[in-house]
Chains A and B, each alone.
Chain A
Amino acid sequence: MTSIVVACALLLSFAAPPAFAQELTISVAISMKDAIEEVGRRFVAEQRGATLRYNFGSSGELQKQVEAGAPVDVVVFAGARQMDELEARGLLLSGSRRAFARTVLTVIKPADSTLDLAKPADFLDPRVKRIVVGNPRTVPAGQYAEESLRALGLWERVRDKLVYAENVRQALEYVARGEADAGCVYVPDARARADRVREAFRLPEDTYRPVVYPAAVVRDTRRPALARAFVDRLAGADTRTVLQRFGFDPPPPGSR
């Protein structure tokens, strides 16, 4: 079956349009879409003749694509783990990896909630019946939330109230629709739904590892110079104001 499909694809390939000389394909974690597109517009304005193609998905899917040899030039992930794995497999251009942003976890509640949520211990309030977090096994935001709640000694005590979401958006949506009384998401997500959710409080930042967003050039890129220029632009100081508008902070010094 697959061989027939490949044969058909081969036949069709002769009709494929020629690639642009200065085109970069950038795989972007979908939670970064708007911010990266804004940075991209500025980059294209500076680099004459450059065009950017984006590929959006979850960091995990994007990682698998690169491992299978998808023609990607730059990867922008929402978590360090997927980047660590690509690096361990030698699939990144050495020295090209840069942390470019940071975000923090925030606890949200529905906008019409009357619950008085002001500190982590309020999770124990019996009126808080359901708390949504990302699935710690697959969603980075869930891993950080678990780390924090464990450090606060609350994880085991709120366990029966926890509902797992398969991505941060789903967690956000459960709270926005009132299905959950509280949830842990990133600050930019909470801002994106400011009409339906309120920030209640932030989890203490010393209770979990910093949430850092890394970007890197893929080893097999055909345009290493342009790809490096993009990553450097993304991690550059003048991009920070752009990212801050979308709710992302500068990365902590020394992170990657």
Chain B
Amino acid sequence: MSAETLSALELSVRVAVLATALNALVGVPLAWLLARRRFPGRALVDLIVTLPLVLPPTVTGYYLIVVLGRRGWLGAPLYRWTGWTVTFTWYAAVIAATVMALPLLVRTARAAIESVDRDLEKAAYTLGRPEWRTALEVTLPLAWRGILAGLVLAFARALGEFGATLMLAGNIPGRTTTIPLAVYTAVQTGETGTALVLVAGLTALSCAVLVVAARLGARAT
């Protein structure tokens, strides 16, 4: 394996792990909110979170760059204050992967949370547990298999993310080139051998992740 292949592999795993962690941090509370609370703008939040699942990834990437780019709504003030932009850094790859994976986690975790018996939560309330402690001590532990399966799916999605990453993080060898981007580069430049090695590696890794997800999903039901 060449140095560039190794660096792509290392970056891909790093990006997927961090994106999964961010998904857990942001997505699980979001899934709980959508499953258990009625609040203004709930339908809108649901829509925005789900959108990356429906849109072509390049379009999602374009939205991200419009928001986070040096001339973006959030990116422009950030650039003025700090002189730093997220575009073309490996953090951009983490953001792109996080956003693309979020709907998979939120939808799976939400379904798992919704299937938790509400009587158990009510019992916790009568025992004096506030809502947040009930969520942490009753609801989430009961839904954990579904949440874990969602996280595995999110990890798999983050690992394979291409379109949004190419747009926001660019395809800079050694810095933002993940395995899917390296495959694209190899195919576009006719390096069929390199492409095959990368594709085989990515397929094996994805299969392993999906088998784990299937096992967890089967045990959760």
Residues of chain A whose beta carbon lies under 8 Å from any beta carbon of chain B? 1-6, 8-10, 12-13, 16, 25, 27, 30-31, 33-34, 53-57, 61, 64-65, 67-72, 167, 169, 192-193, 220
Contacts and interface: CB of A to CB of B under 8 A. Distances in A.
For the complex of A and B, the 9 pairs showing the least CB-CB separation, nearest first, are A69-B70, A68-B69, A69-B71, A55-B170, A68-B65, A70-B87, A192-B190, A30-B188, A69-B69
Contacts of A54: 172-173
> How many interface residues does chain B have, given as a range?
35 or more
Contacts of B66: 68
B172 A1 contact: no
B175 A5 contact: no
Given A27-B170, A192-B190, 12 more contacts: A1-B49, A5-B22, A5-B26, A12-B91, A13-B82, A25-B172, A57-B166, A68-B65, A68-B66, A71-B85, A71-B88, A167-B188
A69 B78 CA distance: 12
B176 to A, nearest CB: 8
B5 interface: no
Contact of A8 (B22, B79, B170, B185): B22
Interface of B: 22, 26, 30, 48-49, 58, 62, 64-72, 74-76, 78-79, 82, 84-89, 91-92, 94-95, 98-99, 102, 166-167, 170-173, 175-176, 184-185, 187-190
B87 A68 contact: yes
A56 B185 contact: yes
Contact of A70 (B76, B170, B173): B170
18 contacts: A1-B26, A4-B26, A9-B68, A9-B94, A13-B89, A33-B188, A56-B172, A56-B185, A57-B170, A68-B87, A69-B70, A69-B76, A70-B65, A70-B69, A71-B70, A71-B88, A72-B88, A220-B70
Contact of B99 (A1, A25, A53, A220): A1
Contacts of A25: 88, 172
